[in-house]
Structure 1
Amino acid sequence: MTMRDARRWWGLGALSLALLTLGFDLTILNVALATLSEQLDASTSELQWIVDSYALVFAALLLPAGLLGDRFGRKRLLLAGLALFGAGSLAGALVDGAGAVIAARAVMGIGAAVVMPLSMSMLPAIFPPEERTRAVAVWSASMALGLPLGPLLGGWLLEHFWWGSIFLVNVPMVVIGGIAVALLLPESRDPAAPRIDWAGSALSMAGLVALVYGVIEGPVRGWADPFTLGSIGGGAALLTAFALWERRAREPIMDMGLFRERRFVWALIAGVLGTVVMAGVLFVLPQYLQVVQGNDVLGTGVRLIPMLAGLMLGGLVTERLIGTGRTGAKPIMVAGLFLLAAGFGLGALTEVGDGYPFTAFWLSVVGLGIGLTMVPAMDTVLSCLPENQAGRGSGLVQALRQTGGALGIAGLGSLVSSVYRDRFDPGGLPPQAAETARDSIGGAAAVAARLGDTAALASARDAYVHGMSAALAVCALGTLAVAVLVAAFQPGRGRERARPSADTPESVHEHVAS
């Protein structure tokens, strides 16, 4: 059953507000680490864990959170997730030690792991198929909007308030979103949902934690370090064991049969790719805008808006084309992938002396490509999920997307760092200052400012632009390859299969009006 009155759009607004909060929380810490280091006396390792505790818990719990929503009620679990996220945010704002902030961030990660898949799984419950594309576009845009808003909002808060404000800002948004969800959204669950597969849950959580942790440690320890290789290899082995277990489990946490449907698989690949490249570009580009082009934190956030504008335009175009029946999802998805590859190809041509207008242009193309790719991809994925598996399926999709995002940041960040270190010429810098400058372009800028060495700064800028160009070229080639594969193997409109109905034996679904 879907909601047929205006409340469904207000309900979507409530979900979007929650996702907006999650979105900017993923990036708001990027501008606060130096402040936390100074005011909490946090070591580099503690700063890393302030960021990574959230990511690890988030990735680990996405799959079981979706199943719990199917079994116990998606709205109920969504409210519990919002409450946990708000409680963790409040605790993070009030504590006074790095260890306590790490614990608060882990609680926030638990809440986010519940909110993310269940907010997605609610869409088929409240929107009929003809409106779902528009709903997915709004859902995707709200998350994407938060990513560039994070540095912008964080910079403004740190200029005017104390460090805890970057956590406290989440609380009123979560409260408003929670009240709106409680009043506007219907409850939905699957009365025939399987019992919790504890063995499968343990394997999936352990595998995702090991894999993501290894990816996080790769740039720090080195990709050839035994610990990094062991963590990534162990995570891959555990996830393989999870997949084998699920094929034989009586009540699996994940329907492996979904991976036999090409529509689902290729749309999922396109969606994960969109997350990977978007996370990667949002990691490498701010440093270019700040150190190479000379913008402050607030100006950097503003200059990321063209990508957001392109993404929203792509979502609008997709909704108009699919919603009016002019075309299916595949042509739009393929066009988006080719456009995304072109945008990254343009970005790879960046030179040190290029001004912001060129950056804004290729960012707009990238944003448009992401919008044209992500919205039809997620809409197709949702249409492939049986209604009684909306929570589990959404958990699987989000687990793959978030793991892909972590891989994108780590992989592209390592590539940029490697090229930067190889090309940077410290000139006459003292050995210790040279090592600091070689570690990052931010370190080079600080050293150059302290010593007045303009030649070292010029070399650092040139080296970073070459590293960024290499990363964008990899994004372009990878996206182009996926575009060709999706064009070749994704079934066309005539062979698209509708999602199983609640009235068929394949699916049992219950909606209880709130």
Structure 2
Amino acid sequence: MRLDQGTEVIGEMATNTLGTTPERLRGRWLGLAALTISGLVLGLDITILVTALPTLSAKLNATTDQLQWMSAAYTLALAGFMLPAGVLGDRLGRKRMLLVGLATFGISSVIASQMTSANGLILMRVIMGASGAIVLPLMQSMLPSMFQPDERQRAIGLSGAGAFIGLPLGPLIAGWLLTHYDWGWIFLINAPVVVIAVIGVWFFVPESKDPAARRLDWIGAILEVAGVTGIVYGIIEEPILGWGDVQVYGPIAAGVVLLAAFALRQLRVRFPLIDLKLFRSARFTWATVAFTVVGFAMTGVLFILSPFLQIVQGNDAQGTGFRLIPLIAAMMVGAISTDWLAKRFGAKIMVAAGLLGTAVGMFILSQVGVDTGYEQVAIALAVIGVSIAFTMVPALDAILGSLPAGETGAGSALTRTLQNIGSSFGVAIMGSILNGAYKSQLSGQLTGLPSQVQSAAESSVAVAAALAHHLPGAAGAHLLQAAQDAYSHGMSEVMLVSAAMMLGGAVLMTLFLPARAPQASPASLGERGVIA
């Protein structure tokens, strides 16, 4: 490159940085609305399947492990493909990649609505997760390029509110759709939302990229995806096959080896998928840990709570969705109020208090039984909703504020990857704890029933409830009561484990999360990405 050409490029970069081209950002709040809608549809699809699990079990003849995979496949693909998506966005253009991800997500959602088998639906959930992996980190990494530092936390709170609200809103929308339409509509509903998001991003979000972004480490990406998948697969299969089966310990061992190889590769390659230097920042490291812990607990809890409300306590799909409204409302209140609370108390106190509050809410849920009134559930959901917002919004701002110039795509992708790995492990581990406790509690309670009926009833509470309706009088009532009690026992164990994890997270944040961000150099304040 000639000197005059280099000067032109540097000059162009200087005139396109955040602080010097306000006319390019006049539509930034409309752009933020489009990004928020993008997050909403992704949040919806993490949990929209939860209310539909009993329906899918009947319509597609899905087993318990297939139901777990329907939930885990989406978050697993989100986690696995997010790191390469973040790097590609930094290199090729974040807006361009975001539009590709949204379009692919919409198309795969329509195809998913037409599936006639459980395995076919699992495959489409993988594609939806992979396309969502493009969207989620890039919508966050665009914010530093669109907003000044004094506006950034508000923008993060609003954009994050889309995904946060989508999580509890998913079961509510699914309940209404399942009551009035075929199950395929829980996926078709994505199409119009995606169209609105694409239009908004196209017109109001500026392109941004890092001309010096590192190359993509494809081998590292494969090692990471395969490693996480192996571990999650083994955990999901354990309640069915037991720890002594090679189909359980084999994939887990292989997954651990692959992830170790991935970590070693990141230390040696010239362009690592994960820049391990990011973890030199204690603020980045511990805020990311908080993100991961919350992802583990929230997704796992929603996976377990919805069947409890629907099958154990006898609510229909729409009623189950409405009973999750306290979680939605509390998350909205928490996301809105976090901005000024974080400015007053700081990220350290907010994140730790949020994790502690989440632990309290989960402990309350651990005391819920078959005949417990809804008031206790509503209180627990409200506490959890506010607390999760108190944790996630300040944590995300701390993460983005710790990233160097040109690393917002990859850094945000790394954070979201770990969060979704936590979500995948949440569904897998909590589902396994639940299934183990359910089978153990139900075993010996079904004497007098045919062995085939006993085996089927032990596979899931949904199957047990369906069988109970086909058994005569007292036998059916006994089976239903035993299955409901067993599920309630399993859910109590899961909530106690989750509460302990949240409490441990709160202690760690109190000890290790820095109270304030390190002072940034003046140059770094303006260079959060280049606007094309």
TM-score (norm 2): 0.88
Matched, 1:407 2:425: yes
Q: Distance in 1 between matches of 2:67 and 2:297?
A: 25
Q: Distance in 1 between matches of 2:182 and 2:194?
A: 20
Q: Distance in 1 between matches of 2:328 and 2:261?
A: 39
Distance 1:32 1:370, change over 3 A: closer
Q: Distance in 2 between matches of 1:149 and 1:258?
A: 34
Task: Give a deviation string over 1:109-168, Cα, whole Å, max 9, x none.
Answer: 321110111112112222222222222222332113222332332343344334433332
- Identical counterparts, % of pairs: 45
Structure 1 residues 69-108: aligned runs within 5 Å:
69-93=89-113, 101-108=121-128
Q: Distance in 2 between matches of 1:100 and 1:267?
A: 37
Matched, 1:497 2:515: no
Matched, 1:122 2:122: no
Matched, 1:194 2:214: yes
Distance 1:50 1:455, change over 3 A: closer
Select between 40-49 and 289-298 the one with higher mean Cα deviation.
40-49
Which amino acid is the alignment partner of residue 459 of structure 1?
A
Matched, 1:422 2:443: no
Q: Distance in 2 between matches of 1:102 and 1:446?
A: 23
Matched, 1:385 2:408: no
Q: Distance in 2 between matches of 1:339 and 1:504?
A: 33
Which amino acid is the alignment partner of residue 518 of structure 2?
R
Q: CA deviation at 1:393?
A: 0.9
Q: CA deviation at 1:90?
A: 2.8
Query: Counterpart in 2 of 1:349?
Result: 367
Contact 2:50/2:306, CA 8 A, preserved across alignment: no
Q: Distance in 2 between matches of 1:95 and 1:310?
A: 35
Distance 1:211 1:135, change over 3 A: farther
Contact 2:113/2:186, CA 8 A, preserved across alignment: yes
Which amino acid is the alignment partner of residue 174 of structure 1?
V
Q: CA deviation at 1:499?
A: 5.7
Q: CA deviation at 1:463?
A: 2.1
Q: Of the candidates 153, 169, 173, which is equivalent to residue 153 of structure 1? A: 173
Contact 2:72/2:427, CA 8 A, preserved across alignment: no
Matched, 1:164 2:187: no
Task: Give a deviation string over 1:380-406, Cα, whole Å, max 9, x none.
Answer: 111111131111111111111111111
Contact 1:134/1:315, CA 8 A, preserved across alignment: no
Query: Counterpart in 2 of 1:471?
Result: 494
Q: Distance in 2 between matches of 1:339 and 1:155?
A: 28
Unaligned runs of 5+ in 1: none
Contact 2:168/2:327, CA 8 A, preserved across alignment: no
Which amino acid is the alignment partner of residue 403 of structure 2?
L
Task: Give a deviation string over 1:453-494, Cα, whole Å, max 9, x none.
Answer: 32332232222222111111111111111211211111222x
Contact 2:64/2:460, CA 8 A, preserved across alignment: no
Contact 1:62/1:399, CA 8 A, preserved across alignment: yes
Q: Distance in 2 between matches of 1:38 and 1:475?
A: 29
Matched, 1:481 2:504: yes
Contact 2:51/2:320, CA 8 A, preserved across alignment: no
Query: Counterpart in 2 of 1:269?
Result: 289
Q: Distance in 2 between matches of 1:43 and 1:443?
A: 9
- How many residue pairs align between the two structures? 507
Q: Distance in 2 between matches of 1:348 and 1:42?
A: 28
Distance 1:187 1:166, change over 3 A: same
Q: Of the candidates 199, 203, 209, which is equivalent to residue 229 of structure 2? A: 209
Q: Distance in 1 between matches of 2:519 and 2:239?
A: 43
Q: CA deviation at 1:422?
A: 1.9
Query: Counterpart in 1 of 2:38?
Result: 18
Task: Give a deviation string over 1:151-202, Cα, whole Å, max 9, x none.
Answer: 3323433443344333322111111101100111111111111122233233
Q: CA deviation at 1:278?
A: 0.5
Unaligned runs of 5+ in 2: 1-16
Structure 1 residues 439-458: aligned runs within 5 Å:
439-451=459-471, 452=473, 453-458=476-481
Which amino acid is the alignment partner of residue 230 of structure 1?
G
Q: Of the candidates 358, 368, 374, which is equivalent to residue 376 of structure 2? A: 358
Distance 1:43 1:316, change over 3 A: closer
Which amino acid is the alignment partner of residue 47 of structure 2?
T
Contact 2:165/2:332, CA 8 A, preserved across alignment: no
CA RMSD of aligned residues (A): 2.7
